[in-house]
Amino acid sequence: MSKKLQHNKEKISKYLASLGFASRRNIKDFFKSNKITLNNKAVSHDSLVENSDVINIDGEDFVVDLNPETEVLIYHKPTGQVCSNIPTDKNDSVFSALPPRKKGKWIMVGRLDVNTSGLLVFSNNGDFVNLLAHPSSKIDREYLCRVYGDITDKKLENVTRGVNINGEKSGFSDVVAVKKTSKSKNHWFYVCLFTGKNREVRKIWGTQKLTVNRLMRLRFGPIIMPENLKPGGWKKFSKKEVSKLQNLLKIQ
């Protein structure tokens, strides 16, 4: 297990991004659109912060803690919810179902499209989230999917060997059929892949003229959605569970 890096000072832009106020890519826009001070003085996105500094964002104070304890929460996303902080006219946000935080915000690891249900992972630690989501971490995702169409051995071979999607090779690392005796053209499969690109599972099957009409994520690396966690339900990891997860992933 690697040692946790202790920060004494940090750029305020990185700190606020790690708390989930904005992505690192959009943090400069966050500074432009909000009134932000540091210890009652004007501040730029390059300013440094240290422990116990006070950041004020639009009138609300936040005391700086550069080495917060990592928290992890899992959520069973129902179909119809959007993986966005802002709900739409038709769809509620996944964040509306999460317990509120006193400091910072829940940051989502990747996302699921509106018609996909299942496991979502959240943390308060932006660096931890980035490591979980980054392809270099080689963390696999497992889904249960119902596929409509004519299944052949050749099509199953194609989706495991890799197919071309928008000029990039993509495919499942594993495909396991759920054995069900039926004359229906709906077929259930467990599939695994190491990337989480937008609608990737649907697109992979789509290259074989097959349509995914049910899709649920069951696992993200070593994080498995409990069978008793109902849609719309969440579970916060204990300190022991977070420590075990960090040890398994060899990240802090």
Residues 96 and 210 in one domain: no
Tens of pLDDT along 70-85?
Answer: 999 999 999 999 998 8
Is 113 a catalytic site residue?
Answer: yes
Task: Name the active-site residue from 65, 92, 113, 140.
Answer: 113
DSSP annotation of 28 reads H
Indicate if the pLDDT at residue 191 is higher than 80.
yes
> Comparing 30-39, 180-189, 203-212, which segment has the lowest mean pLDDT?
180-189
Residues 161 and 36 in one domain: no
Q: pTM score > 0.85 for this model? A: no
Residues 167 and 216 in one domain: yes
Indicate if the pLDDT at residue 161 is higher than 90.
yes
Residues 119 and 215 in one domain: no
Query: What pLDDT does residue 7 have?
Result: 63
Whether residue 3 is contained in a domain is answered as no
Residues 154 and 216 in one domain: yes
Indicate if the pLDDT at residue 103 is higher than 80.
no
Backbone angles phi, psi at 156, to 5 degrees: -65, -35
DSSP, residue by residue, 155-182: HHHHHHH-EEETTEEE--SEEEE-----
Residues 87 and 102 in one domain: yes
Query: What pLDDT does residue 4 have?
Result: 46
Query: What pLDDT does residue 118 have?
Result: 97
Query: What pLDDT does residue 22 have?
Result: 80
Indicate if the pLDDT at residue 2 is higher than 60.
no
Confidence of residue 235 (pLDDT cuts 50, 70, 90): very high
Most confident of 17-21, 96-100, 108-112, 142-146: 142-146
Residues 132 and 229 in one domain: yes
Residues 130 and 228 in one domain: yes
Pairwise pLDDT comparison (18 vs 171), residue with the higher score: 171
CATH no. for residue 126? 3.30.70.580
Whether residue 4 is contained in a domain is answered as no
Query: What pLDDT does residue 6 have?
Result: 55
Confidence of residue 182 (pLDDT cuts 50, 70, 90): low
Indicate if the pLDDT at residue 3 is higher than 60.
no
The predicted model gives 55-82 an average pLDDT of 91
The predicted model gives 164-177 an average pLDDT of 92
Whether residue 2 is contained in a domain is answered as no
Query: What pLDDT does residue 247 have?
Result: 86
Query: What pLDDT does residue 86 have?
Result: 85
Residues 102 and 152 in one domain: no
CATH no. for residue 177? 3.30.2350.10
Residues 215 and 151 in one domain: yes
What is the number of structural domains in the chain? 3
CATH no. for residue 53? 3.10.290.10
Query: What pLDDT does residue 75 have?
Result: 98
Residues 146 and 191 in one domain: yes
Residues in Cβ contact with 18 at an 8 Å cutoff, skipping those fewer than 6 apart? 125, 126, 127
| Residues of the domain holding 149 | 140-220
Q: Which residues of 91-125 are buried (b: 16+ CB within 10 A; e: fewer)?
A: eeebbebbeeeeebbbbbbbbbebebbbbbbbbbb
User: What are the beta bridge partners of residue 193?
Assistant: 141
Alpha-carbon distances, residue 193 vs 138, 204, 243, 251 (angstroms) = 9, 11, 25, 21
Residues 146 and 194 in one domain: yes
Mean pLDDT, the chain, integer: 89
